[in-house]
Structure 1
Amino acid sequence: MPNKTLADTEYNQFKHFLEQQSGIVLGDNKQYLVRSRLSPLMAKFNCDTMTQLVKLAMGSSDRQLRVEVIDAMTTNETLWFRDKFPFELMANIILPEYAAVGRPIKIWSAACSSGQEPYSLAMTLLEFQQKRPNSLAGTSIVATDLSPTMLERCRVAEYDPLALARGLTEEHKRQFFEPVANQKSMKVKDNVKRLVTFKPLNLLESYASLGKFDVIFCRNVLIYFAPEAKSKILRQFAAALNPNGVLFLGASESLAGLSDDFDMIRCNPGIYYRKR
């Protein structure tokens, strides 16, 4: 029977490896998380023990093994229109601001997981354009993630009933989704999908290839990074934003002690950050 235990020394080595590769910081005594995420890979890579799998990933020249291990450890859960207020602020403040100056905007959904955030942004844009026809034509959304598995799921854009129940109204489903033949799943309609381009990106690496943005969503992501990595990411976000560009973070995340590049804009409800 496969041995899924991981000694403290090996766990600490793996923690260091994961942080170096992805920026993700595992807490102490999270061996259970490593076991649950990596167990399915043991048979695939012919490993009898978790120790063997982890050591191969850390030292192997087998890129596929390394990618799949990091992929499994960095896959996060998400939902549609998470926390609501960022999307309401987009609809009520940010999109009207750019529509008033008559130019399209470029939006980045960083660490997009399985696609709910960028597609929620696309739906927000389409609803805005229904009320204000011909506004913000040419607006685009770039969505990035470290995980190849997540990016492929995003591009397919099919969601099962459990995923569909998390944050979507019946009106959203009626307007922006269509049934998948012979299944209970639904897929995002083409007019929504066309607005979003998915690309692989490690947030610890350069963003130069993405170009400049007017709005960046990076929500409930920084909590997984060490302070030094958070500061680096925030500096790079500031450099990637156009003048007066906007940054949205998660409800529990803060820039305090990490960045002086942004002003906090308090709203009711919620907050966002404006590049200085």
Structure 2
Amino acid sequence: MLSSSNTISPQGYDRFRKYLVKESGISLSDNKQYLVASRLGKLLEREKFVKIEELVDALERGGRTSKLREEVINAMTTNETLWFRDAHPFKILKDMILPQYDKRPLRIWSAASSTGQEPYSISMVLEAFKQSKPGKLKPGERIIATDICTNILKHAKQAEYDSLAIARGLTPDNQNRYFDKLSATTWKVKPSIASRVEFRHLNLIDSFSSLGKFDVIFCRNVLIYFTAEMKLDILKRMHASLNPGGYLFLGGSEALSGLSSMFEIVQCHPGIVYKAK
């Protein structure tokens, strides 16, 4: 059975890389056989595949709706996140962006939302702003949270987290204010916070025009996994999904280049945000 990087031939790895980038947009770099072996080892053993080529053959036969394809993409997706990650995007949202919106219900998209920490953190920011400035925001604000990983979405929709996950980036004050304690080790996001978040399955390489228009898009720490060509295509389509003057947040290690005609860089000290022209 496939148990180490030594059992994945260069040809087999190349075939899998091409399949993965075509189906999910995830672009593996050279010599990542060990990563594929570690994440797919159990699946390959269960399906009795000796070579990675056998897996690719089965995936190509099954098409885009197969359960096997879903399992492979779930396994190869990185889902590392925490509450209020990097802090400054949420401060920019609360102090600079939210005060501007009082004419229509705000719509925010959390792309690659993982286990839900980002969209729920955004919802907490909205709640805090509404309490500090009653009547400032139009009622009916929505947060659309999307991810390619179906297993992760199921977890996010439940809005339940263990003590270890709760402790990652969440202050005790926010924990007590926005969560209900279900047991000694389990916490659940309060309905007032969870109710404005809607989770949907989405692959960013596919069309997302059906999501509608947004005032703010959070697309952080995900574009690094795409090829340069796919990244550019996604950013152009995100620009089309923003209302005029809408804002785009990227990850700290991600940069928006070649799109100066579409976005204006807004320096916020600390952090930056991109404003749609």
Is TM > 0.5 for Structure 1 vs Structure 2? Answer: yes
Count of aligned residue pairs for this structure pair: 273
Larger CA deviation: 251-260 vs 86-95: 251-260
TM-score (norm 2): 0.93
Distance 1:266-1:65 versus aligned 2 partners, 3 A rule: same
The amino acid that maps onto 1:110 is: A
- The aligned counterpart of 1:64 is 67
| Aligned pairs for 1:196-211 within 5 A | 196-211=197-212
Q: Which moved more, 1:186-195 or 1:49-58?
A: 49-58
| Structure 1 letter corresponding to 2:97 | I
The aligned counterpart of 1:78 is 81
How far does residue 119 in structure 1 lie from its aligned partner after superposition?
0.5
- State the shift of 1:102 in Å: 3.8
Q: Distance in 1 between matches of 2:53 and 2:117?
A: 34
Q: 1:49 to 1:184 in 2, by over 3 A?
A: farther
Residue aligning to 1:251: 252
Deviations 1:73-111 (A, max 9, x none): 12321111110000000010001111xx34321000011
Distance 1:259 1:114, change over 3 A: farther
Q: Answer whether contact 2:12 2:51 (CA < 8 A) is retained.
A: no
Find out whether 1:97 has 2:100 as its counterpart: yes
Shift of the alpha carbon at 1:54? Answer: 4.3
Q: CA distance change for structure 1 residues 49 and 14 in 2, over 3 Å: closer, same or farther?
A: closer
Task: Give the secondary-structure state (helix, strand or coil) at the position aligned to 1:217.
Answer: strand
Q: Quick one: distance in 2 between partners of 1:44 and 1:125?
A: 45
Structure 2 CA distance for aligned equivalents of residues 24 and 169 of structure 1 = 33
Distance 1:58 1:166 in 2: 39
Q: Is the 8 A contact 1:238 1:261 kept in 2?
A: yes
How many Å separate the matches in 2 of 1:259 and 1:159?
40
Per-residue CA deviations over 1:17-71 (Å, capped at 9, x if unaligned) read 1100111110110111111211232344344555533442344457000111011
Q: Are the structure 2 counterparts of residues 239 and 124 from structure 1 closer, same or farther at C-alpha, using a change threshold of 3 Å? A: same
Equivalent-residue separation in structure 1 for 2:220 and 2:18 (angstroms) = 24
Query: What's the CA shift string for 1:176-233, capped at 9, x where partnerless?
Result: 111224x512111111110100011111111121010000000011111111101100
Q: What is the rounded CA distance, in whole Å, between the counterparts of 1:48 and 1:15 in structure 2?
A: 18
Q: What residue is the counterpart of 2:171 in the other structure? A: 169
Contact 1:80 1:120 in 2 (8 A): yes
Q: Do the aligned partners of residues 11 and 48 (structure 1) sit closer, same or farther apart at CA in structure 2, a change above 3 Å counting?
A: closer
3-state SS of 2:185 partner: coil
Structure 2 residue ranges without an equivalent (≥5): none
* Distance in structure 1 (CA, Å) of the matches to 2:51 and 2:19: 18
CA distance in 2, matches of 1:2, 1:228: 32
SS of 1:108's partner is strand
Instruction: Please tell me the residue identity of whatever aligns with 1:205.
Output: D
Q: Taking structure 1 as the reference length, what is the TM-score of the superposition? A: 0.93
Give the aligned residue type for 1:41. Answer: L
Distance in 1 of aligned mates of 2:244 and 2:274: 12
- Counterpart in the other structure of 1:147: 149
TM alignment of 1:1-276, pairs within 5 A = 3-4=3-4, 5-48=7-50, 50-61=52-63, 63-98=66-101, 101-136=102-137, 137-181=139-183, 184-257=185-258, 260-276=261-277
Structure 2 CA distance for partners of 1:88 and 1:19, relative to 1, 3 Å:
same
The letter for the 2-side match of 1:107 is I
Q: 1:259 to 1:35 in 2, by over 3 A?
A: farther
1: CA distance, partners of 2:232 / 2:260: 6
- Greater displacement, 209-218 / 68-77: 68-77
Does the 8 A contact of 2:19 with 2:56 survive in 1? no
Partners of 1:47 and 1:187 in 2: CA distance = 40
| Paired-residue identity, % | 49
Matches of 2:217 and 2:177, distance apart in 1: 25
Secondary structure of the equivalent of 1:80? Answer: coil
Q: CA deviation at 1:259?
A: 5.8
